[in-house]
Amino acid sequence: MTWRRVVLVVALLAAAAGAAAWYWQSALIGVGARFYLARIAAREEATGDLSQRRATVRRMNRMLLMGPPPDTFVPELFDFITAVSARVATGEIDLAWAAYVYTSYQRDLIRDRPQGPRRSSAEVGAAVEEYVRFYSLRQRPDVPGFSLSDLAGAESGESYTVEELDEADRQGRPLGRVTPQR
């Protein structure tokens, strides 16, 4: 084989791998998120530290307008976030349902097991699976999973920028409702 054929074969394989990665990017993002979060949990379990998991759970609670949970619940809630992350990335669980399931899980955790015992990661995954089964959560065909542009924060056209709001205020013109462009 000549070096040109080798370069051509390598280029075709790279193009095929790139196309496959682009096509299945939401699944890859979900696997990456689960792997990253599991590594954080394993590292902190080994050292007995809670700092990154606590920050993640508090950030999630703040987004959901909930107070921070006690430190005893942080590892289990972090495991729950880890279990849900891949399903959210692929679109299997919608963000609104993920928020509902998370708040329900935390409410039940506080009500039913305020003193423990802590569930294992496998038990938390089974609880997520039970929520999916109970609420018949399925991926909607019209809603794609997360893409790289979502992670990069690319403009979706679903909201006004601060500059657009300021300009409309200065001009005294009302702003209409923005419709999604997907």
Instruction: Please indicate, yes or no, whether the overall pTM of this predicted structure exceeds 0.85.
Output: no
Report pLDDT digits (tens) over 100-156. Answer: 999 999 999 999 998 878 999 999 999 999 998 988 887 777 766 766 666 666 555
What are the residue ranges spanned by the domains of the chain? 24-146
> Is residue 86 classed as helix, strand or coil in its secondary structure?
helix
Q: Look at the block and give the residue holding tokens 């920050």.
A: 55
Task: Output the furthest CA–CA distance in the chain (Å, rounded).
Answer: 71
**pLDDT at residue 173 greater than cutoff 90:** no
User: What pLDDT score does 152 carry?
Assistant: 63
Among 87, 54, 60, residue whose Cα is nearest residue 72: 54
- If you write DSSP's letter for every residue of 130-143 in order, what string do you get? HHHHHTT----TTS
Q: Look at the block and give the residue holding tokens 């963000």.
A: 95
58 or 168, which is more confident = 58
User: What pLDDT score does 99 carry?
Assistant: 93
Quote the distance between the C-alpha of residue 137 and its chain's center.
Answer: 16
User: What pLDDT score does 51 carry?
Assistant: 92
Among 106, 37, 35, residue whose Cα is nearest residue 72: 106
State what percent of residues in the chain have pLDDT above 90: 38
